[in-house]
Amino acid sequence: MTDQNHPDTGTARPLGGLKIDLGTNVGSPLGGIPTIDGAPAATTPLAGSPTTEAPGGAPTETKVLIIGSGPAGLTAAIYAARANLEPVVIAGSAPGGQLMLTSEIENYPGFPEGIDGPELMRRFREQAERFGTRLFDLDVDRVDLSGRPFHAWARGKEFVGQSVILATGASALWLNLESEQRLRGRGVSACATCDGFFFRDREIAVVGGGDSAMEEANYLTKFASKVHLLHRRDGFRASKIMIDRAYDNPKIEVHTNTEVAEVLGEDKVEALRLRDARTGQERTIPMEGLFIAIGHRPNTEVFRDWLPTDEKGYLVPHHHTASRIHGVFIAGDVADHRYRQAVTAAGDGARAAIDAERWLESEGIAEHATQTAW
């Protein structure tokens, strides 16, 4: 699960100045994804009791060190904690992952009425803490996976794990236009959930043709007077139900074969220069906000010296959730660009915790017979 920059805090800022530190990782959300390199932030702090300590001091040691606090990391924590492995989670400064930037989730089993992403992650965290998981809301800067025990450093604090589960998710992608980056936080965002509120009665645009773009466009119609959905092709990646929902929404206007050439405005978004992808013809339309929903990149930078990644930068598990380094396991969107669902990430977290426990047991580090705890 996106990258992340963040909305800073969720404190409502007057749109007048449109100083919206919109995020980043999100796009990152469960970007919130825990952020590894500067990432972003979650809008709503997770409830519970984030364990944050002053940097430095004695290393924090554990049998299972989990990096990442989205559905994968926190499910791994729940399983490891119930197996008496006393896990430690380095949760990122924007804990909770991409779901922190998601509005209503309708497809997570067990919630027939739907549930807000931040609320779901609050419950994950509460459940992990209930069984004794310690969480640190810090970003990992560096790891040493050369041998057991493994080491990680987060903002000056050292962590030592007999095993490690990597569950850092993925972050939002950007168009990478100079004007887009300059106006990030000033009307350009990758997180509708975080920033939609600021665009009440405004005319805004969403870029993308996948489920994220459809979902964000629909969500933003709760606030905006009109939402323009801009997609560079005439075919969509989104599921049919999501496309239909967008076309059926009277506040959404769909523009296919449309690229954003430039975001116009000095201190805030004022207009978009759009280009017809077939003819190259350009036009400028007034716009007060732009949401980017074009996919994600995996948060794997700090692991790249240690583990192989695929052509898209995702980690590649070696056998089930095990990496090619004995004792290092992989879970969730950091290795998954196919499914990328909260429920599949959570399932991966459970698998990784079970694999880690069995490995610790085989190494004589964990006691046998915790399997009844699953």
**Which positions lie near ligand NAP, rule CB under 6 A?**
107, 175, 207-213, 215, 232-233, 237, 294-295, 340
Closer residue to ligand NAP in complex, CB, 294/353: 294
Specify which residues 258 forms β-bridges with. 276
Nearer to ligand NAP, 75 or 258 (CB): 258
In the complex, residue closest to ligand NAP by CB? 210
What are the distances in angstroms from CA 176 to CA 184, 192, 260, 265?
11, 18, 11, 16
Q: Which is nearer to ligand NAP, 182 or 358 (CB)?
A: 182
Peptide bond preceding 149 in cis form (omega within 30 of 0): yes
Q: Of 3, 8, 137, 194, which residue is the catalytic one?
A: 194
Q: Which of 21, 137, 139, 191 is catalytic?
A: 191
Structural contact between residues 263 and 290, judged by C-beta atoms closer than 8 angstroms: yes
348 is catalytic: no
Q: Which is nearer to ligand NAP, 130 or 278 (CB)?
A: 278
Output 107 or 372, the one with its CB closest to ligand NAP. Answer: 107
Beta carbons within 8 Å of 248's beta carbon, 6+ residues apart: none
What H or E segment, with its residue span, contains residue 219? helix 211-220
33 and 24 in contact (C-beta within 8 Å)? no
Shortest Cβ distance from residue 352 to ligand NAP (Å)? 21
Q: How far is the CB of 211 from ligand NAP (least distance, A)?
A: 4
Which H helix or E strand runs over 193? helix 192-195
Please say which residue, 175 or 325, places its beta carbon nearer to ligand NAP.
175
Structure tokens at 150: 């493994």
In the complex, minimum distance from the CB of residue 34 to ligand NAP, in angstroms, rounded to a whole number = 18
**The one catalytic residue among 137, 195, 333, 355:** 195
Structure tokens at 266: 């000095």
Q: Establish whether 194 is a catalytic residue.
A: yes
CB atoms within 10 A of CB 55: 12
CA 319, 320, 324, 326 torsion: positive or negative? negative
Of 211, 209, 196, 258, which Cα lies nearest the Cα of 232? Answer: 258
Residue 195 designated active-site: yes
The four Cα atoms 122, 126, 128, 129 give a dihedral, to 10 degrees, of 130
Shortest gap between Cβ of 166 and ligand NAP (angstroms)? 20
Question: What is the smallest separation between the CB atom of 20 and ligand NAP, expressed in angstroms?
Answer: 21
Min. distance of Cβ 105 from ligand NAP in angstroms? Answer: 7
- The C-alpha atoms of residue 142 and residue 139 are separated, in whole angstroms, by 9
**Nearest to residue 266, comparing CAs of 8, 18, 14, 7?**
18
User: 226 or 232: whose CB is closer to ligand NAP?
Assistant: 232
Quote the least distance from Cβ 84 to ligand NAP, whole Å.
Answer: 35
Query: Which position has the token pair 């409502």?
Result: 12
Joined tokens for residue 295: 């996919």
Catalytic annotation, residues: 191, 194-195
